Structure 1
Amino acid sequence: MSGRLVVCPTPIGNLEDVTLRVLAALREADVVACEDTRRTKVLLDRYGVGARTVSYHEHNERERAAELVGRMRDGAVVALVSDAGTPLVSDPGAILVQQCIAAGIGVEVLPGPSAALAALVVSGLPAERWRFAGFLPRKRSALAELVGGAQETLVAFESPNRIGASLAVLAEVDGARPVAVCRELTKVHEEVVRGTAAELAARYAGATVKGEVVVVVGAAAEGAGDEAAALDAVKRLVEAGARARPAAGVVADLTGVSANALYRALQDER
């Protein structure tokens, strides 16, 4: 069979979640490109897969992609895996897929585990319209703008060390917004905590959190203020000579966006 790339999702915690098709692809591949060969070896050893592996991560992605494309042009079958879940979803792989497409090399994607989808479903929040945001932005103003008046469910990854701070920002933007914090999905210590942004901000304030975290944020209520537009209005008032805090208060009264959130966002950008 001609050379091709096979994108293989791997378990996000429970090794029993690997599919039969993924195991077959790993066994048949000439080489398995791994985000971390040591992590992948645990899975391969569990199922007796004696595949040849090479590293493929964010620091060598472009160079290694060119090498792998060369192998596929010569007829090799390459399997791509990340440490957990589906490659390219906040993991390396995009450059390799793009180069394969440009070179006319076939790309096959197998279905499998995804922390984002698992969290969306278990959150109980509407899944008809949703958006994946990768990792939540660290800058407060960017995070506030992201969740602002979003009219769809938002799914994002977050560091366990930052979840408390991020929830505090969500609570300032809209304390009544429904949120689910999904930790260690599919693992022994799986935990899903649901509540309003204000409730979860209080729960996680100063808390020590361990493990992989996915945050699911419900859509803004219909008619909720758009913080980005409100913040722009505050900036224009300040540029015209108004003091920041009174300007934030006036815009808050008109838009429904938190005055405190607007004031802090303005300070963050200064």
Structure 2
Amino acid sequence: MDLTINSQQRCFEGTQGFYSHDSAICGGAMNFAVYQPPQAKDGAKVPMVTFLSGLTCTEENFTAKAGAQRVAAELGLMLLMPDTSPRGCGYPGEDDDYDLGSGAGFYLDATQAPWSARYRMYSYITRELPALIAEHFPVDAGRQGIFGHSMGGHGALTIHLKNPGVYRSVSAFAPVCAPSQCPWGRKAFTAYLGEDETLWEDYDSCALIRRQPSDAKIFIDQGAEDPFLSEQLKPDLLVAACEDAGQHFEFRMQPDYDHSYYFIQTFVEDHLRHHAKTLT
């Protein structure tokens, strides 16, 4: 698979790069960022952690704002930051709202027209993009983890729970914990998956945990002053699902923190060290 290098910069003795390629699964150009730690010099294979961003974000948000590269360099972790949706499909309503369409792929494979032709982020994240990374970067595909923020936290949790043997470690910042029961999720699931709510369970962390908990420890940080906490994120439902199913988890409510990247900056080191315990 061909890869276009858009830019590469030296960063903590490693390399931060931005790339693009033509995606067969998403039917067009897709962008992503990769941080290669110094341990990957001369082709030495290193573990990789994928970060999934939230609504309205691109591959640039976490890469530029989280301050993760310093810790990733110390721990020898490659970081992969994909975009959050296909772009420029021309579908009606694609760019009308921040919570549907562009920047709002919800890390699922849409089944409803017109979205089903290109909004296939689940297959892109779990199949096509890892294969591309393995072809062009020195990654140890047997040592992968996944984490994310908000909509991306939802994506990280569901992708881990559906693929626990591939994504061996998992964490999230302020995830959308029960998308079937919040306005963001219900709007997206109705558009992308249709009216049958039983089909939504395949992309709902609470339902997936109750169906089949994983052997991993789910690590979550949530800001107590997050404006989306009660209406959209609903972490109490995830905690209840974990307790009911016997899922190993650690949930930290962080006083005074909100939903921003300042929150992520503060705790990203804890998350990377959480992943490194399993992957390195």
More strand per residue: 1 or 2?
2
Which of structures 1 and 2 has the bigger CA Rg?
Answer: 1
- Length-normalised TM-score, structure 1: 0.26
What's the TM-score once normalised by structure 2's chain length? Answer: 0.25
